[in-house]
Amino acid sequence: MAELEILLQLPKIGGNSQVRGRISMEPSKEPRDDPGQASEPGTQRQTHGFQAEVRQLLKLMIHSLYSHREIFLRELISNASDACDRLRFAAIANGALLAEDPELGIRVDADPTAGTVTITDNGIGMTREEAIANLGTIARSGTAEFFRSLSGDEQQASRLIGQFGVGFYSAFIVAERVEVRSRKAGEPAAAGVRWESAADGEFSVESITLPARGTAVTLHLKADAREFADPFRLRGLIRRYSDHIGFPVRMRKEGEASLEYEVVNQAKALWTLPRSEIGDEEYRQFYQYVAHDFTDPLAWSHNKVEGKREYISLLYVPGRAPFDLWQREGARGLKLYVRRVFIMDDAEQFLPLYLRFIKGVVDSSDLPLNVSRELLQQDPEVEAIRSGLTRRALDLLARLMKEEPQKYATFWKEFGAVLKEGVAQDHANHAAILPLLRFASTAQQDDASTVSLADYVGRMKPGQERIYYVIAESIAAARGSPAIERLKEAGIEVLLLADRIDEWVMGHIESYEGKRFKEATRGDLELGGLTSDADRRQRDTDLKESKGLLKRIKDALGERVSEVRISERLRESPAVLVLGEHDVSEPMRRLLAAAGQQVPEAKPVLEVNVGHPLVKYLEARADAAEFGELSQLLYDQAGLAEGVPLGNAPEYVQRLNRLLVRLAAPPAAPT
C-alpha cells in the first residue's frame, strides 16, 4: 500500500470530517457595520464580502448558465434534506432537539405574483456564525479545479455544481436576490439569523427572532426565470429530481388560496423499497441525487442481505469520472445509513480504494447509531459488509461487461486505471478482477480498442506458453517497441501498456488461466514451443560467428551494459536494451526518485541483431575509435527507442552527425 501511496499520491483513507460543514472557514473580509443601514440595537446587521472563489462562482451562475437552470431546486431541496438528516442524527445523542416538532420535512412555496419561491425545512438550521461561514465561502478544496474543469460547456457546468459542493450558490442562476432565514435546533427564538445577498460581491446578516427551528431560503426570481414560480412547474421538477429523498416535500394543494399542504414526492428512501417496485427511471434519478451527477449511471445493483447480518446496498457505476478521482482528498465512498437514519456521506470503509468510483448507499441494521469514522475503521461488521460489497461491485462490472460491452468500454475508459489497482491491492479477488481488465493489443489496429485476457488466451498460437506484454510511455511507443518485432512477425499477440501504474500492477499478476505473463523487454523471451529447430541451428551459427563482435562491443561500452548478446527479439532494428527479470525500469526508477526513494540504476543487456546492415557495417570497422563511437550510437538509439532520455544529447547528435558525414563523403580517391 505504501508503495502505491508514494507512486500515485492517492486519496488518503479516512480523515474526512463527518459533516462537510464550513464553519471553520473565515470570511475573506472583516465584517463591518453597514453604514447605509441604521443598526437597531441587538440586530447587528453586518455586511461581508464573499470569498474570492465564491465571487467567481457567482459570476458563472449569473452570466453563463442558461440550460438546466432548474438544477437550483434539486440543490436546495438536497440541502434541506441534508439538514433534516443532520438533525435526526444529532437527535440520537440529544432527543430534545427534535421533541417540539418531531416530523421532519420540507416545504416549497411559490408566489407567482411576487415572483418568489421559498424552500423551507425544519432541519438542523444555522447559527449566525454558521450562516456567515457556510454561505460565504467554499470549504471543499478543489474549487480551482472546478473552474479549470469548465470548458465553456454549460451542461458540464451544471453537472459539476453538485459534485463540487457549491449547490447553494446555484440559487443565483434564477434569483436576483436570495434571502435565508435560519434558526439552529436547540437555540432560542432570538438566535435566528437573516442572510441576504444580491450576488454583487457581498452579503448581509442580521440577527432576528424566528418562531421555529430550521431554514427557509427565498428566491426573488429574475425577470426571465419567473416560470419557476409556477406551482405546476415546481411539482413536476420535484417529482423528477427529488422524488426519492427520504423526507416529504410538501406544496400547497392546488386551488386558489388553499392553505392545506400535500406531499408531492414519494418521500420513501428508495433503497428500502423492493426491487420490483422501482423503475429504471427512478433508479437513475436516485443516482443523480446520491452522486450529485447530472448524467446517467452505467449500471446499478440493489441488494438486501438478510440473516445473521442485515444490510441493504444500492451501488452505482457512474458514466463519467469525477474531477477528484485522482485527488488524495477526493470524496469517495457510500452514503451510510443505519436503520434508515442517515449517518454520514463518503463512508469510504465499505469499499476498497480501487472501487472508489462506485457511488451509492449502504444501510446497515446491525451497526450502532452512534458509529463514527474511527469506529468504522475497526468494526468487524464493517469488514464483513465491505467484502460482501466488493464482490457485489465486481459482479456488477462482470455483468455490465457481458451484457453491455459498449457501456463497459465507456466504464473502462473512465475508470479502468483505477480498477487496475485492484490487481495489486486485492489478491483474494484476482479471479474476479483479472477477467475485467482491458488492454490495448497488437491484435487491434487502433490504440483505443482493447482486448480482454480471455480474448488473448483464445488467440494464443500452438506452442505459445506465455502472455506477452510490453510497457512504454504511450501505446504507440509500445506498439513500435523493437523488443516485440519478432513476436509481431510471428503473429503472436502482445498486450500494450502505457499507464504509469502498469509496471507496478503487472508486477502483481502471475498468470491467467495457467498462462504466465512475460514482459517482452525483460530477460529471456521464453519462446518455448514457438522456436523451431531451424531457428535453433541459425542461432548456434550466429553465436559462433559473432563471438568476437559481441566482445568488441562490450569492451567499447564497458560498464554501461552488463552484457552484449545476440537477440532473438529483433527483426528491423539493429539493437535493443533488455532488463533483467527483476530490475526496476528506467521510468519507474525516475518515478520513485521523484518520490524520494532512491533505487540503483539497473544495468541493461544490449542485444544486437547480427543480420542487420548497420551491425554488419559496425563489424567491418577496423579503427577502434570509430568502432567505439558507433557502438555508443547503437546503445543510445536502443535506449531512445524505449523512451530513456539521452544522458548527453549534444554528444549523441555530434556522434550521429560524424557518422552521416562519413557516409555522405565520396570514397577517398586512390593515391
Give the binding site for ligand ADP (CB under 6 A): 20-22, 75, 79-80, 82-83, 121, 123-126, 134-135, 165-169, 215
In the complex with ligand ADP, the residue whose CB is nearer, 124 or 494, is: 124
- Determine the interface stretch with Mg ion among 72-80, 143-151, 349-357, 481-489 (rule: CB under 5 A): 72-80
123 binds, among Mg ion, ligand ADP, none (CB under 5 to 8 A by kind): ligand ADP
* Residue 166 contact partner, candidates ligand ADP, Mg ion, none, CB within 5 to 8 A by sort of partner: ligand ADP
Binding mask 161-180 for Mg ion (x = CB under 5 A): ------x-------------
CB of 385 to ligand ADP, least distance (A): 26
What is the layout of strands, in order, in the sheet containing 515-519? 440-441, 494-497, 466-471, 515-519, 511-512
C-alpha 448/C-alpha 450 separation (Å) is 6
- Rounded CA-CA distance 604/415 in Å is 34
- For residue 80, the partner it binds in Mg ion, ligand ADP, none, with Cβ less than 5 to 8 A by kind, is ligand ADP
Closer to Mg ion by Cβ: residue 79 or 631:
79
Q: Closest distance between ligand ADP and the C-beta of residue 167, in Å?
A: 3
User: What is the smallest separation between the CB atom of 529 and ligand ADP, expressed in angstroms?
Assistant: 60
* Residue 297 interacts with which of Mg ion, ligand ADP, none, CB < 5 to 8 Å by class: none
In the bound state, the residue with its beta carbon closest to Mg ion is 167
**Residue (173 or 497) nearer to ligand ADP, CB:** 173
Q: Is 123 in the site for Mg ion (CB under 5 A)?
A: no
E runs forming strands in 101-142: 106-111, 116-121
Size (the chain), residues: 671
Q: Give the relative orientation of helices 231-241 and 71-93 as an angle to the nearest 10 degrees.
A: 60
Q: Which is nearer to Mg ion, 138 or 353 (CB)?
A: 138
- Rounded-to-integer distance, Cα 237 and Cα 227, Å: 12
- What, of Mg ion, ligand ADP, none, does residue 134 touch, CB below 5 to 8 Å by kind? ligand ADP
From the list Mg ion, ligand ADP, none, pick the one residue 241 interacts with, judged by a Cβ distance below 5 to 8 Å according to partner type: none
Between β-strands 249-252 and 261-263, what pairing exists: parallel, antiparallel or unpaired?
A: antiparallel
Beta bridge partners of 277: none
Give the one entry of Mg ion, ligand ADP, none that residue 497 binds, where binding means its C-beta sits below a cut-off of 5 to 8 angstroms depending on kind: none
Q: Which does 390 bind (CB under 5 to 8 A by kind): Mg ion, ligand ADP, none?
A: none
Q: Which is nearer to ligand ADP, 22 or 522 (CB)?
A: 22
C-alpha cell at 80: 434541506
Nearest to 342 by CA among 18, 634, 662, 28: 18
Contact flag: residue 79 with Mg ion (CB under 5 A): yes
Q: How far is the CB of 190 from ligand ADP (least distance, A)?
A: 19
109 binds, among Mg ion, ligand ADP, none (CB under 5 to 8 A by kind): none
Single out the residue of 315, 318, 285, 321 nearest to residue 300, CA to CA: 315
Instruction: Decide: 505 and 421 in contact? Cβ < 8 Å.
Output: yes
Residue number with CB closer to ligand ADP (22 or 373): 22
Stretch of residues binding Mg ion (CB under 5 A), selected from 77-85, 309-317, 325-333, 569-577: 77-85
Least distance to ligand ADP from the beta carbon of 134, Å? Answer: 4
Q: 511 forms bridges with which residues in the sheet?
A: 516
Residue 242 in the binding site for Mg ion (CB under 5 A):
no
Q: Are 11 and 323 in contact (CB under 8 A)?
A: no
Dihedral angle at the C-alpha atoms of 469, 473, 475, 477, nearest 10 degrees? -90
- Between 165 and 482, whose beta carbon lies closer to Mg ion? 165
Question: Of 165 and 330, which CB lies nearer to ligand ADP in the complex structure?
Answer: 165
Residue 68 interacts with, from Mg ion, ligand ADP, none (CB under 5-8 Å by kind) = none
Residue 166 CB, nearest approach to ligand ADP (Å): 5
CA 74/CA 54 separation, integer angstroms: 20
Nearer of residues 216 and 527 to ligand ADP, judged by Cβ: 216
Give the span between the Cα atoms of 392 and 330, in whole angstroms: 23
Q: 560-593 burial, b if ≥16 CB within 10 A, otherwise e? A: bbeebbbbbbbbebbbbbbbeeebbbbbbbebbe
Q: For residue 656, count CB atoms less than 10 angstroms from its CB and return exposed for 0-12, middle for 13-18, buried for 19 or more.
A: middle
Supply the minimum distance, in Å, between the C-beta of residue 78 and Mg ion: 5
Nearer CB in complex with ligand ADP: 53/503 = 53
CA distances from 265 to 81, 105, 250, 274 (A): 13, 11, 8, 18
The least distance separating Mg ion from the CB of residue 417, rounded to whole angstroms, comes to 29
Residue closer to Mg ion by CB (options 73, 484) is: 73
Neighbours of 207 (CB within 10 A): 18
Could you give the CA distance from residue 414 to residue 406 in angstroms, rounded to a whole number? Answer: 13
213 or 438: CB nearest ligand ADP? 213
3-class SS letters over 174-189: CEEEEEEEEECCCCCH
Q: How far is the CB of 81 from Mg ion (least distance, A)?
A: 9
Piece in contact with Mg ion (CB under 5 A), picked from 74-82, 192-200, 507-515, 572-580: 74-82
Are 566 and 553 a contacting pair, CB within 8 Å? no
How near is the Cβ of 76 to ligand ADP at its closest, in Å?
A: 7
- Smallest separation, CB 332 to Mg ion (Å): 18
User: Cell numbers of 256, please?
Assistant: 386558489
Cβ-based neighbours of 156, under 8 Å, separated by 6 or more: 149, 150
Of Mg ion, ligand ADP, none, which one sits near residue 20, judging by CB under 5 to 8 A according to partner kind? ligand ADP
CB of 20 to ligand ADP, least distance (A): 5
Q: What per-residue string of b and e applies to 502-515 under the rule 16 or more CB within 10 Å gives b?
A: bbbbbeebeebeeb
Give the separation between CA 578 and CA 569, rounded to whole angstroms: 10
Question: Nearer Cβ to Mg ion, position 167 or 214?
Answer: 167
- By a kind-dependent CB cut-off of 5 to 8 A, residue 83 interacts, out of ligand ADP, Mg ion, none, with ligand ADP
Quote helix, strand, coil % in the chain, to nearest 5: 45, 20, 40
- Closest approach of Mg ion to the CB of residue 75, in Å: 6
Using CB under 5 A as the binding rule, the residues of this chain from 499 to 528 that contact Mg ion are none
Nearest distance, CB of residue 182 and Mg ion, angstroms: 15
Dist CA 160 CA 292 (whole Å): 8
Tell me how far, at minimum, the Cβ of 210 lies from ligand ADP, in Å. 13
Q: What pairs with residue 563 in β-bridges?
A: 605
Nearer to Mg ion, 167 or 319 (CB): 167
Of the candidates 475, 589, 609, 455, the residue with the CA atom closest to the CA atom of residue 542: 609
Q: Decide: 606 and 634 in contact? Cβ < 8 Å.
A: yes
Q: Please name the helix (run of DSSP H) or strand (run of DSSP E) that holds residue 203, with its range, or none.
A: strand 202-208
Residue 121 partner contact from Mg ion, ligand ADP, none using kind-dependent CB cut-offs of 5 to 8 Å? ligand ADP
Of the two residues 86 and 302, which places its CB atom closer to ligand ADP in the complex? 86
Chain residues binding Mg ion by CB under 5 A are 79, 167
